[in-house]
Amino acid sequence: MNKFTGLIIIGLLIVGGVFLFNQNKLPSRQEEVSKQAVQSAVTTTTSSNPVREFTMTAKQWAFDPAIITVKQGDKVKLKITSIDVTHGFALSEFNVKVDLVPNKEETVEFIADKKGEFNFFCSVLCGEGHRDMKGKLVVE
């Protein structure tokens, strides 16, 4: 075997070793999805109450996420965007009601000052599945 062929083989072994070593460091698809789910809820702390921030999408005929869980006393900040038609977001027990124009982010904020499960729903007639467009706020 000549010197040139030997160098090529050694180079290939090094490149292959580096690839295999780093293969274990790449996140799996499941880890990426889990990381994205965690990133959809952001918590910051103020002097009095934590702020729980969620990014929500409204689309025919669902909210995503459909269930939001917070602690009693948390300040809740929802950034909601409709991605198709005009929808509404209403959470009656916390006096929240906003119209969602397509592709325009709306922000609603409130204090989760009572424990329980509270339904939110689309408050603008948006089509055939409108009555099923709802979700739940869980305050622990």
The answer on 73 and 29 residing in a single domain is no
Q: Note the pLDDT tens digit of each residue in 98-119.
A: 999 999 999 999 999 999 999 9
Length of the chain: 140
pLDDT the model gives residue 14: 65
C-alpha 137/C-alpha 1 separation (Å) is 71
135 shares a domain with 67 = yes
Going from the C-alpha of 75 to that of each of 27, 53, 69, 87, 129, the distances in angstroms are: 33, 8, 12, 24, 31
**pLDDT above 60: residue 44:** no
Tell whether 19 and 54 lie within a shared domain: no
Q: What are phi and psi of 103, to 5 degrees?
A: 65, 20
Quote the CA–CA distance of 70 and 140 in Å, as a whole number: 6
**Comparison of pLDDT for 77 and 46, the residue scoring more:** 77
| Domain range for 26 | 1-39
Minimum mean pLDDT range among 22-31, 88-97, 117-126? 22-31
Same domain, residue pair 34 and 79 = no
CATH label of the domain that carries residue 54: 2.60.40.420
Same domain, residue pair 125 and 64: yes
Residues 71 and 122 occupy one common structural domain? yes
Q: Please state the pTM of the whole predicted model.
A: 0.66
Q: Are 49 and 115 in the same domain? A: yes
CA–CA gap between residue 119 and residue 17 (Å, rounded): 54
Please indicate, yes or no, whether residues 60 and 34 belong to a single structural domain of this protein.
no
Number of domains in the chain: 2
The better pLDDT of the pair 108, 23 is held by 108
φ/ψ of 9, rounded to 5, equals -65, -45
Of the chain, the percentage scoring pLDDT greater than 90 comes to 56
**Whether the bond into 61 is cis, omega within 30 of 0:** yes
- The two structure tokens encoding residue 68: 């939001």
- pLDDT, average across residues 75-90: 96
Inform me whether the pLDDT recorded for 28 exceeds 70.
no
In the prediction, which pLDDT does 50 show?
A: 77
pLDDT averaged over every residue in the chain? 80
